[in-house]
Structure 1
């Protein structure tokens, strides 16, 4: 059979033309196989099916779509049909039907094998693409490669690293890490593509989390990612400040991770965290020795309390989070207002700092935050 084996419909082998343009090499041996089947009324051998699978893989690697490949084989079978020995040489209707049934069965098996090979090649291509994507994401977020090479590779993933980018990192609900097969990844990609078409954001799983790197000019894409990723119960998303270049992406990613870590250690309630809102905490921790001294000096006396410092430390944090409103703080702690007042009196008596004095309660609140950041005392950690 040549390259003009039928007309068919659909796109050509590389996205244009018609099915008849399928190169002859992908129809090799097909007419001869059908001729022998029509003569002997046999089924396809294992070797014949495997050869079709191999041709299906080769066609996929050459950029020929399955629709075009199938149409080319059907067209070739249609053109070969009148001259097939079992058809042309049939003596009666029974022989013609027998030969026809064998040819149709062989055609079905052959095209099925082509489809298997084509799908196998596509799966391999997807795995190769995913491996390349993972390697690029690692290099981008960890900053371990030459910035020039990273910038060049980024173009293939739709990123122009000369721009300013913001990074959002979504942490999953406990026990449900994100990976390439997670349905949320497919949903996010599908919805962003449907709403914004071609966009320059990179969406990828990393270390069980979901990462979005988006140029600042496409804030709506980032906002949509944040909304979708934070919707699940127990999920949380942190958004960095914008930074420029490949180094800026690394910095933004680290900011978002730091925000997630701070939120966990401080038991913050929000599902969406902004790194810019949490800048005070790295400042507080910049002098770790001074913070440790503050915690020990201010909160150390709480260790003498009955039941340990944990309940009173929790009271300081809840009182601050409630805006120093007794009724709200009592509700958060599941206490009566009277019980809360007793705890506040004990804090003042033990530490010498009055939670109702504006300056002194700020010292208590700062020390309580430092205690959480330093893990003091271990039993008080959430």
Structure 2
């Protein structure tokens, strides 16, 4: 194009771009180069070059990084194209040095709208690619933050600063739940957002963080700066997290460990560890409860704190049962059911699908082999602790430390 035509095209492009930007409240830099390309396409009747397509992809990515939604960006481009169209016949005529006839105008229109279509496709591709990259970065940031928060590896100041970026205040008290099924929960599963929305509907605007970690679904709920000890919150959050992890993993059976409420970033770590311990102890014991609270698992944590001592107790009290016909497991299970049902042989029989006579016989064999009588109050504490220890240590399937 001649210098005069270039100046006319530049003036038209600048005016149209500014008008479209004002109409949509967006910077004209987002259409920079696009309108000039349309003029070139109209004058020469050509397609967009690879460089022009790449430039449109770049503009789409730039818009995404500025937080401009794709529909708003498309509206901007369509508005700019609409405003430029009435000026194109004059610019084409000036460039070609002759009027544009009806047939030539149709050809110009086809070239322009084909070019606009190509440009918009590239624009959308660049925008989508940039959006995915933003999401990837945010997910990576979130995972790193959660990992540092729940391992205690990072300094408190750094944790507090990064938490603010996620809209979470760590200064108050927090309760952590850990939900699991027999299938690992994947961080790529997207129902974590569903749980956040469901929990916020129940807890209002209190801070909530949900993330998959180590195959489990971890939820951190803020109790506010002066609200420690809100045990009902942990129960309510667990009842929401359980079905959520079941949906995540497509498994019907779930269990949730609930940590106690503690203050500050290190309080989150402490509550998390308690929730994990509660979950793991419940699994070892085969407890029927779907929601297990750390406060109810304290006695078992005490037992596990000295594994050598509990192994010694199990071996001393229950070790002789290994010599029974059929092994120790049926007799241990009978004592466990007997105590669980309030020392009622009939109820224990129903639990074990045995007759009362069979239960009574097994309890008698326990007394004969161990010297401890399940019906004698003096022997019951030792037997109860030994049976609990056996379940915690997975005995008799797993050899004891002292063996």
Same fold (TM over 0.5): yes
Distance 1:344 1:29 in 2: 89
Check if 1:228 corresponds to 2:236. no
Shift of 1:239: 0.5
Structure 2 match to 1:66: 70
Aligned-residue offset at 1:253 = 0.8
Number of the residue aligned with 2:216: 209
- Aligned counterparts, 1:25-64, within 5 A: 25-64=29-68
The whole-number CA distance in structure 2 between the counterparts of 1:281 and 1:60 is 53
Q: How does 1:187-336 map to 2 (within 5 A)?
A: 187-196=194-203, 198-217=205-224, 222-231=234-243, 232=246, 233-336=252-355
Residues 334-375 of structure 1 show CA distances to partners (whole Å, capped at 9, x for unaligned) of: 222222222111111111111122332332121011112233
Q: Which moved more, 1:118-127 or 1:350-359?
A: 350-359
Deviation, structure 1 residue 59: 1.7
| SS of equivalent to 2:197 | helix
CA drift at 1:3? 7.2
Residues 1:180 and 1:374: Cα distance change in structure 2 (over 3 Å): closer
* 1:10-41 deviation per Cα after TM superposition (whole angstroms, max 9, x unaligned): xx8xxxx751x432322122122212322344
Q: Distance in 2 between matches of 1:311 and 1:322?
A: 16
Measure the CA separation in 2 of the matches of 1:3 and 1:254: 63
TM-score w.r.t. structure 1 length? 0.88
Counterpart of 2:17 in structure 1 is 5
Note if contact 1:318-1:329 (Cα within 8 Å) is conserved in structure 2.
yes
Aligned-partner Cα distance in 1 for 2:121–2:236 = 41
Distance 1:64 1:278 in 2: 51
More displaced 10-residue stretch of structure 1: 285-294 or 240-249: 285-294
Aligned partner of residue 14 in structure 2, secondary structure: coil
In structure 2, do the counterparts of structure 1 residues 276 and 18 end up closer, same or farther at CA, with 3 Å as the change threshold? farther
Counterparts of residues 132-211 of structure 1 (less than 5 Å)? 132-171=141-180, 173-175=181-183, 177-196=184-203, 198-211=205-218
Distance 2:23 2:335 in 1: 75
Q: Equivalent of 1:366, from 385, 389, 398?
A: 385
Instruction: Give the C-alpha shift of residue 237 in structure 1.
Output: 0.6
Residues 263, 286 of structure 1: alpha-carbon distance in 2 compared, 3 angstrom cutoff: same
Cα drift, residue 169 of structure 1: 0.8
In 1, Cα distance between equivalents of 2:241 and 2:66: 38
Q: 1:327 to 1:380 in 2, by over 3 A?
A: farther
Which residue of the other structure, out of 82, 85, 105, is the alignment partner of 2:86?
82
Report how far residue 57 of structure 1 moved: 0.6
Q: Distance in 1 between matches of 2:357 and 2:398?
A: 26
Shift of 1:258: 0.6
**1:264 & 1:223 partners in 2: Cα distance?**
18
Preserved CA contact (<8 Å) 1:136 1:153? yes
Deviations 1:268-300 (A, max 9, x none): 111101000111112223333332222111101
Distance 2:39 2:361 in 1: 97
Contact 1:53 1:115 in 2 (8 A): yes
Question: Residues 166 and 216 of structure 1 are in contact (CA less than 8 Å); yes or no, is this contact kept in structure 2?
Answer: yes
User: Aligned with 1:179: secondary structure?
Assistant: coil
- The normalised TM-score by structure 2 is 0.84
- Cα distance in 1, alignment partners of residues 74 and 233 from structure 2: 39
CA contact 1:86–1:99 (8 Å) conserved in 2: no
**Over the residues paired in the alignment, what is the CA RMSD in angstroms?**
2.5
Q: Give unpaired runs (5+ residues) of structure 2.
A: 1-12, 94-98, 247-251
Matched, 1:131 2:140: yes
**Are 1:96 and 2:105 counterparts?**
yes
- Write the distance in 1 (CA, Å) between the matches of 2:124 and 2:315: 70
User: CA contact under 8 A between 1:158 and 1:202: conserved in structure 2?
Assistant: no
Gaps of 5+ in 1: none
Counterpart check, 1:115 vs 2:124: yes
Could you list the per-position Cα deviations for residues 91-143 of structure 1 after superposition, in whole angstroms to 9, with x for gaps in the alignment? 54443333223322221221121111111111111111111111111111111
1-side partners of 2:200 and 2:30: how far apart? 35
CA distance in 2 between partners of 1:85 and 1:197 (Å): 59
- What is the alpha-carbon distance in structure 2 between the residues aligned to residue 157 and residue 181 of structure 1? 19
Q: How many residues align?
A: 371
